[in-house]
């Protein structure tokens, strides 16, 4: 366990930024936190709850996969990938760290997504224990520990100090670089901090939300539940939930004709969209009800079925706060699972 005074945090950032791109949650003009690349003058936000999730760093909303060029009747294929640079994401919440595992299970299992894998390899995740959760938070529901988040490095922040613990070799290497600013310490303060966090977690309005009703093998139980009709009735189909979600990983691959060639790019897609997985015969999810159902069934039933019972929701609460009409996974779980919370 290492510690460092918060007064020196900017020096720590400077040190990290010397060898890698550093991203930290910083305050945006409207007061909400967003990930910004650190440079002198960018302050670490007191909030860890960023509007967009750190999923962007590994699965950017849009990326060019390759290019084609035609010359006369010939076609030339260009791999325009450039070497991913080292980068560090600092101050990741426990839930968001967990989301990378959800993504890994999709993109790193065979066939491995090399675009994703190279970023995953180059990125170092520094998590921070979440001492100020929002009322929308329910990570505990999914067995996540905000007291001691995962990641290459785990940090705890108190009033005046920050504590570091490396979990991986990548993390150890990073802490090695910071040795000039840190000193060894025992775990007393951190243990205290963990207890504080546990106490706050116990006060959260959604603390009693349970997943017992869900999991693999429940497809038939829920699929034809008439409640989907009612729940989806208010859904606008906008896709905001999927775009702020740290675990939503659907994407579309499209071609863009620049006039000088074709760029094949990948961009996020959303199961909320009417064009989602459209095939030659049309669409197999024809109304918003099916599309709505898909999203939640995927998070709560289909994904666990294929991933050893792991849910693909981490309880980060983003969709709760950003849905234009406040329809969200919590309301769905309560209604569908008839879970009393």
Partner 1 sequence: MQRVGVFVCWCGSNIAGTVDVEAVSEALKNEPGVVFSTNYQYMCSQAGQDMIKEAVKEHNLTGIVVCSCSPRMHEATFRKTAAAAGLNPYMVEIANIREQCSWVHKDIPTGTEKAIILGKAAVAKVNLNTPLTPGESPVTKRALVIGGGIAGIQTALDIADAGFPVDIVEKKPTIGGKMAQLDKTFPTLDCAACILTPKMVDVAQNENIRIFSYSEVSEIKGFVGNFDVTIKKNARFVKEDICTGCGACVEKCPMKRVPNEFNLGMDNRSAIYIPFAQAVPKVATIDPNSCNMLKNGKCGLCAKVCAAGAIDYTQKDEYINEKYGAIVVATGFNPISMDKFDEFSYNQSKDVITSLEFERLTNAAGPTAGHLERPSDGKSPKTIVFVQCVGSRCDACAEKGKEYCSKICCMYTAKHAMLVRDKYPDTEVYVFYIDVRTPGKNFDEFYRRAVEEYGVKYVKGMVGKVTPEGDKLKVQASDLIEGKQLHIDADLVVLAAAIEPDKSARPLATMLTASMDTNDFFTEAHPKLRPVESPTAGVFLSGACQGPKDIPETVSQAGAAASKVIGLLAKDKLTGNPCVAHSNELMCNGCSSCERVCPYGAITYEDKEFRMPDRTTKIRRVAKVNPAVCQGCGACTVACPSGAMDLNGFASNQIMAEVDAICK
Partner 2 sequence: MQKITQNQLIEKAASLLSDGTVNAVLGWSRGEFGYDVTPKMFKTEEDLKENFVWNDFCGVNFSKYLVSKTDRFDGKILVFLKPCDTYSFNQLLTEHRFEREKVYAVGIPCEGMVDVIKLKAVTGEGISEIKEDGENLLVTTIYEDAPVKVAFKDVLLERCINCKSKKHVAYDELMGDEGEVIESKRFDEVAKIEAMTPDERFAFWQNELSRCIRCNACRDACPACTCEKCVFDNPQSGVENKAPANSFEEKMFHIIRAYHVAGRCTDCGECSRVCPQNIPLHLLNRKFIKDINEFYGEYQAGAEVGSRAPLVDYTTEDLEPGEVFDRRDIDA
Partner 3 sequence: MQVNEHKPLIVAFCCNWCSYAGADLAGNNRLNYPADVKIIRVPCSCRVNPMFVLRAFQRGADGVIICGCHPGDCHYTSGNYYTRRRMAALFSMLDFLGIERERTRLEWVSAAEGAKFAATMNDFVEKVTALGENKRLEDLRCKR
User: Which one, 169 or 257, has the nearer CB to partner 1?
Assistant: 257
CB 317 within 8 A of CB 49: yes
Task: Kindly state the smallest distance separating residue 100's Cβ from partner 1, in Å.
Answer: 37
Q: Which positions lie near partner 1, rule CB under 8 A? A: 70-73, 257, 259-260, 282-283, 286-287
In the complex, what is the shortest distance from the CB of residue 259 to partner 2, in angstroms, rounded to a whole number? 13
Nearest approach, Cβ of 151 to partner 2 (angstroms)?
22
From 13-21, 49-57, 96-104, 111-119, give the range in contact with partner 2 by CB under 8 A: 49-57
- Binding residue (CB under 8 A) for partner 2 from 327, 329, 332, 333: 327
Structure-block tokens of residue 107: 């993109």
Scanning residues 188 to 207, which ones bind partner 2 (CB under 8 A)? 200, 203-206
The one among 258, 275, 308, 340 contacting partner 3 by CB under 8 A: 258
Which CB contacts under 8 angstroms, 24+ apart, belong to 247-256?
A: 247/55, 247/99, 247/102, 247/103, 247/299, 247/312, 247/313, 247/314, 248/55, 248/295, 249/55, 249/59, 249/102, 249/103, 249/106, 249/107, 250/276, 251/59, 253/65
d(CA 309, CA 319): 22
Q: Does 226 bind partner 3 (CB under 8 A)?
A: no
Touching partner 2, residues 243-272 (CB under 8 A): 243-244, 252, 254, 256, 265, 267-270
CA distances 137 to 57, 96, 130, 134, 144, Å, are: 22, 12, 10, 5, 11
Site for partner 2 in 101-140 (CB under 8 A): 132-136
What does 187 interact with, of partner 3, partner 1, partner 2, none (CB < 5 to 8 A by kind)? none
54 makes contact, choosing from partner 3, partner 2, partner 1, none, with CB < 5 to 8 Å by partner type, with: none
Which region among 2-10, 96-104, 255-263, 282-290 touches partner 3 (by CB under 8 A)? 255-263
Give the whole-angstrom CA distance, residue 226 versus residue 18.
Answer: 57
Rule CB under 8 A: choose which of 275, 279, 281, 308 binds partner 2: 275
Count of residues binding partner 2 (CB under 8 A)? 52
Q: Is 224 helix (H, G, I), strand (E, B) or coil?
A: coil
Helix axes 288-297, 329-336, angle to 10 degrees: 90
The candidate with the shortest Cα–Cα distance to 20, out of 40, 44, 2, 38, is 38
Q: Which is nearer to partner 2, 309 or 324 (CB)?
A: 324
Supply the DSSP symbol for 75: E
């Amino acid at each position: 366990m290492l510690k460092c005074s918060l007064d020196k945090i900017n020096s720590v950032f400077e040190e990290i930024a010397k060898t890698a791109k550093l991203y930290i949650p910083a305050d945006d003009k409207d007061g909400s936190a967003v990930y910004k690349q650190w440079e002198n003058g960018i302050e670490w936000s007191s909030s860890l709850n960023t509007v967009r999730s750190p999923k962007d760093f590994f699965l950017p909303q849009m990326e060019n996969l390759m290019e084609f060029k035609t010359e006369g009747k010939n076609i030339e294929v260009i791999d325009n990938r450039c070497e991913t640079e080292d980068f560090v994401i600092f101050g990741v919440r426990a839930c968001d760290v967990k989301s990378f595992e959800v993504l890994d299970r999709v993109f790193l299992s065979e066939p491995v997504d090399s675009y994703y894998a190279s970023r995953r390899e180059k990125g170092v995740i520094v998590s921070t224990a979440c001492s100020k959760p929002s009322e929308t938070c329910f990570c505990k529901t999914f067995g996540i520990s905000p007291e001691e988040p995962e990641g290459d490095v785990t940090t705890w922040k108190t009033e005046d100090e920050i504590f570091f613990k490396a979990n991986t070799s990548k993390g150890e290497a990073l802490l090695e670089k910071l040795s000039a600013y840190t000193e060894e310490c025992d775990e007393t303060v951190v243990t205290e901090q963990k207890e504080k966090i546990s106490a706050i977690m116990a006060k959260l309005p959604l603390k009693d939300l349970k997943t017992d009703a869900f999991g693999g093998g429940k497809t038939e139980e829920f699929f034809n539940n008439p409640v989907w009709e009612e729940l989806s009735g208010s859904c606008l189909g906008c896709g905001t939930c999927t775009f702020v979600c740290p675990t939503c990983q659907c994407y579309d691959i499209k071609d863009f004709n620049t006039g000088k060639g074709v760029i094949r790019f990948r961009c996020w897609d959303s199961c909320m969209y009417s064009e989602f997985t459209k095939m030659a015969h049309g669409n197999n999810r024809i109304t918003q009800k099916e599309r709505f159902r898909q999203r939640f069934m995927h998070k709560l039933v289909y994904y666990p079925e294929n991933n050893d019972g792991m849910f693909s929701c981490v309880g980060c609460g983003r969709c709760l706060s950003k849905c234009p009409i406040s329809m969200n996974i919590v309301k769905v779980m309560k209604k569908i699972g008839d879970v009393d919370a």
